[in-house]
Amino acid sequence: MSAIAHRYEFVYLFDITNGNPNGDPDAGNLPRLDPETNRGLVTDVCLKRKVRNFVSLDKENTSGYAIYMQEKAVLNLQHKKAWEGLGIPPDTKDEYKKLPKEEAKAREITAWMCRNFFDVRTFGAVMTTGVNAGQVRGPVQMAFATSIDPVVPLEISITRMAVTTEKEAEAQSGDNRTMGRKHIIPYGLYRAHGFISAKLAERTGFSDTDLALFWQALTNMFEHDRSAARGEMAARRLIVFKHESAMGNAPAHVLFDKVKVSRVNGEADTPARCYADYQVSVDQNLPQGVSVSELI
């Protein structure tokens, strides 16, 4: 399949109720915060992980849609599949540490990774860890998501009535309860920006079919990511700007400024507690050569 022919930018809005969208391991798994504004943060890595998880579920055992970066994956073994799949032997005794000296063969190895791994041809990858499969700059990139308003993390105490050992079970009633903590925010609406380059897609083979799957993942990925910490997360809006040309017809920041998110009736004096507390508007006065569509 041929690569996409148009550049895209998108604005992605999602929210969470009584949960933790992206815990910070350096802060006891508290929801991530911008310390200067107290606005919540969700990393690009977190969002890409959910896209990968959705694709792995939706395209399980489908050729060309394997996931390169997944839990407990041994990356060097992933790279070695390309060498062995193409029947290319290593040039030196330092097995597979360097790409073949013949440039065409080196390109074949990297291209094989792009053809077979959805996330490599979508997000790119540095595949030089011991077994060398080259580097790929992905056409799809996402920025950190930031909450529209400041959020206040809450620390909720929880108890566990079960015990792990017989000795604990023999303890007097009340002494065998294990105390714990759960970190949540009552509500937060987050906004993320994304970029899709048609010129970089030419290098990885990212196609219109891949793009449709990516939109599907953004729309549905929270439906398959439920947990005690993320019971109520939802994709709310996906606003896509499409350029007529591969290089683009307007700067990305000009398009992002066309999307405004504000409180209903300007009611910012009370905390937001649901999506209905916000209103989203899209300025349809767009630069020439750019169109907008709403997929959610």
- Best CA proximity match to 186, nearest among 277, 107, 82, 251: 277
What does the alpha-carbon distance between residue 266 and residue 256 come to, in Å, rounded to a whole number?
A: 21
Who has greater pLDDT, 12 or 92?
Answer: 12
pLDDT score of 93:
60
What does the alpha-carbon distance between residue 36 and residue 38 come to, in Å, rounded to a whole number?
A: 6
pLDDT tens digits, one per residue of 271-280:
899 999 999 9
Band of pLDDT at residue 171, cut at 50, 70 and 90: low
Range of the domain at 39: 8-65+137-151+183-294
In a domain, 167, yes or no: no
In a domain, 284, yes or no: yes
In a domain, 3, yes or no: no
Report the phi/psi class of residue 65: left, alpha or beta, with left for phi > 0 and alpha for psi in -120 to 50. alpha
Band of pLDDT at residue 284, cut at 50, 70 and 90: very high
Please state, as a whole number, how many other Cβ atoms lie within 10 Å of the Cβ of residue 281. 10
Mean of the pLDDT values across residues 235-258? 97
Mean of the pLDDT values across residues 79-91? 87
Q: Which helix (H) or strand (E) element contains residue 160?
A: strand 154-160
- Which residue bears the tokens 């799957």? 213
In a domain, 121, yes or no: no
In this model, does residue 175 exceed pLDDT 60? no
pLDDT score of 95:
73
In a domain, 162, yes or no: no
pLDDT tens digits, one per residue of 45-84:
999 999 999 999 999 989 999 999 988 889 999 999 999 8
What does the alpha-carbon distance between residue 39 and residue 36 come to, in Å, rounded to a whole number?
A: 8
- Best CA proximity match to 57, nearest among 193, 204, 226: 226
Cα Rg for the chain, rounded, in angstroms? 23
- Specify whether the CB–CB gap between 152 and 38 falls below 8 A: yes
In a domain, 173, yes or no: no
Mean of the pLDDT values across residues 31-45? 96
- Best CA proximity match to 70, nearest among 80, 85, 57: 57
Number of folded domains that form the chain: 1
Per-residue DSSP letters for 59-107?
TTT-TT-B-SS-TT--HHHHHHHHHHHHTPPPSSSSTTSS--SSHHHHH
Band of pLDDT at residue 230, cut at 50, 70 and 90: confident
Please state, as a whole number, how many other Cβ atoms lie within 10 Å of the Cβ of residue 63. 8
In a domain, 36, yes or no: yes
Please state, as a whole number, how many other Cβ atoms lie within 10 Å of the Cβ of residue 149. 18
pLDDT tens digits, one per residue of 114-147:
999 999 999 999 999 889 999 999 999 999 999 9
Range scoring the smallest mean pLDDT among 60-74, 177-191, 251-265: 177-191
- Which residue bears the tokens 């013949």? 102
Band of pLDDT at residue 42, cut at 50, 70 and 90: very high
Mean of the pLDDT values across residues 276-291? 96
In this model, does residue 186 exceed pLDDT 70? yes
In this model, does residue 32 exceed pLDDT 90? yes
- Specify whether the CB–CB gap between 233 and 42 falls below 8 A: no
Band of pLDDT at residue 173, cut at 50, 70 and 90: low
pLDDT score of 141:
97
Q: What mean pLDDT is reported for the chain?
A: 91
pLDDT score of 177:
66
- Specify whether the CB–CB gap between 22 and 42 falls below 8 A: yes
What does the alpha-carbon distance between residue 230 and residue 40 come to, in Å, rounded to a whole number?
A: 15
Report the phi/psi class of residue 198: left, alpha or beta, with left for phi > 0 and alpha for psi in -120 to 50. alpha
Name every residue whose Cβ is closer than 8 Å to that of residue 200 and which is 6 or more positions away in sequence: 137, 138, 139, 206
Mean of the pLDDT values across residues 280-288? 96
What does the alpha-carbon distance between residue 52 and residue 65 come to, in Å, rounded to a whole number?
A: 10
Band of pLDDT at residue 231, cut at 50, 70 and 90: confident
Q: What percent of the chain has pLDDT over 70?
A: 94
pTM higher than 0.75: yes
What does the alpha-carbon distance between residue 240 and residue 11 come to, in Å, rounded to a whole number?
A: 7
